[in-house]
A and B are shown apart, each in its own frame.
Chain A
Amino acid sequence: MTLRYPAGAGGTDADYIIFTPVKYKTNNESKEDAAAPPPEAGAEPVILYMPNSTPGMGNQNDWNKVDFNGPIGDMRRDVSSSVGKNFANFAESGSFGELGSGFAEDIKNEGIDGLKSRFKGVGAQFGMQALGGLLGTTPNQMLALGAGKVFNPNVELLYNAPQMRGFGMAFDMVPKDANEANIINQIIMNFKKWSAPKDLENGMFDIPYVWEIKYMTGQDVNKNMNRFKKAACINVQVQANNGTPMHVAHEGGIPIITSLQLSFTEVDIITRQDHEKVGGQGY
């Protein structure tokens, strides 16, 4: 049974959001077998109204600035580049011969004059570094003082990896009748229960469920808003009567307003293919 707040949510009139608990699988398992195992009895999908403020979704990619300062840095960069290129080729071909010949080719391309020139610069920079230790100045400071020059920092921005996304949503639930009040309790219980581990009473825990979250319009996924990957619910925060000057309640002690704040972290990174697969705005 799908739990809904408000009672009419999920119709064709208004947009809504649906949370479906699914059993956790590692990303590796998910790639091998797309179908999720059936949820346990009681793991109910939840339909809620669109939050008043939908979360801003960042799609962060980690790039790092790396300095390859002066002739030493320049050499370090080129050697690293050669190692990276040739080992990437080796990873594909598996041929040691190709690996060796790749390195030999790179050295050959540099030429005797090129290598000589490099070593002159590298030697000078080493010398300045050694003396800088004694004098308390850096090679760049020495160059700036003596020759009005500095080493080229040879800056590169290098890619590391996409970042995992975290986001939160807040809902205020104000029951219109006793039935809705009961459903609000069930919704909160559902989020708490399936986001918590199960004690297997053998010294181990069963991992909490993760959540499939979708913005919906009518019966379809809303392609005009971002999509979510399966997400772990890392916090379920509930507060009664947020904003009222004192405790106020319906008969039976049911709060007038129950605020639910959910925090999630997606379980996987997002690649270009993921965006293409879902279409619309992507993730």
Chain B
Amino acid sequence: MSYQAVKAILNKGISRPTLFQVIMPIGVQAQEQLTFLCQAATVPEVAVDTITVNGHEAMGVVREQPTIVTYAKPFTITVISDRDYTVYKAMREWFDTLAKNSNPFARTLGNTGSSQRINYYNSYTKTITLKKLEQNGEQAFDSPFEIDFNKAYPIRVGELALDTEARDSYMQFSVAFTYETYTMKTNTLEAIL
């Protein structure tokens, strides 16, 4: 393939993994922080489970029959924390809606004792959006696709690693979310819809 042909194919350049935005229902201030301080996220793998159909059409030939579409879980993000721990606190608040007394002995209304009582699924599941961004050459961003994680909620708010030796470093933490499915929305799809 000629240089010109490659150039024509890549007229918008190569995609950068650094450009993305995670959008969560966590309030304006925390969202602003998350937009700029989310260090890493992944578009989870989508796959299909199969069963093998051995030798039906021809002896020795194995056909794989799809049975269930699966989405890799959890969806994990890594966030750099500001000094107020704005995103961290927002994540803990969401996490704490999973069960009464998930933050035991906190002075909140209605919290008595330390028995945990799980709240209903519909009360804490929300949609998370992961938007892939690309520079469009006009000091703005295009979004080639975005992903909606359906019925998501945090299943793990990761550790805050404190270390007196880590002087020239920054505080970061990870949050893992589970979800049911995800919807990939491309520009093409949006045009059709």
Contacts and interface: CB of A to CB of B under 8 A. Distances in A.
| Chief secondary structure at chain B's binding surface | mixed
Contacts of B121: 174-177
A196 B117 CA distance: 34
Contacts of B170: none
Interface in B113-132: 116-123
A253 to B, nearest CB: 9
Contacts of B100: 251
Nearest to A256: B118
A248 interface: yes
Contacts of A178: 120
Contacts of A176: 120-122
B122 A177 contact: yes
A176 to B, nearest CB: 4
Contacts of A248: 116, 118
B170 to A, nearest CB: 38
A76 interface: no
Interface string A150-174: 0000000000000000000000001
Contacts of B122: 176-177
Contact of A175 (B116, B117, B120): B120
A249 interface: yes
Contacts of B116: 248
Contacts of A249: 117-118
A16 B67 CA distance: 18
Contacts of A177: 120-123
Contacts of B120: 175-178, 180-181, 250
B115 to A, nearest CB: 9
Nearest to A249: B117
Nearest to A252: B117
Contacts of B119: 250-251
A78 B40 CA distance: 87
A207 B122 CA distance: 41
A176 B120 CA distance: 5
A98 to B, nearest CB: 55
A256 B118 CA distance: 8
B117 A251 contact: yes
Given A175-B120, A175-B121, A249-B117, 8 more contacts: A174-B121, A177-B122, A178-B120, A181-B120, A248-B118, A250-B120, A251-B117, A251-B119
Interface of B: 100, 116-123
Q: Enumerate the 10 nearest inter-chain pairs by beta-carbon distance, A residue then B residue, closest first.
A: A176-B121, A177-B120, A177-B122, A176-B122, A251-B117, A250-B118, A256-B118, A176-B120, A250-B117, A248-B118
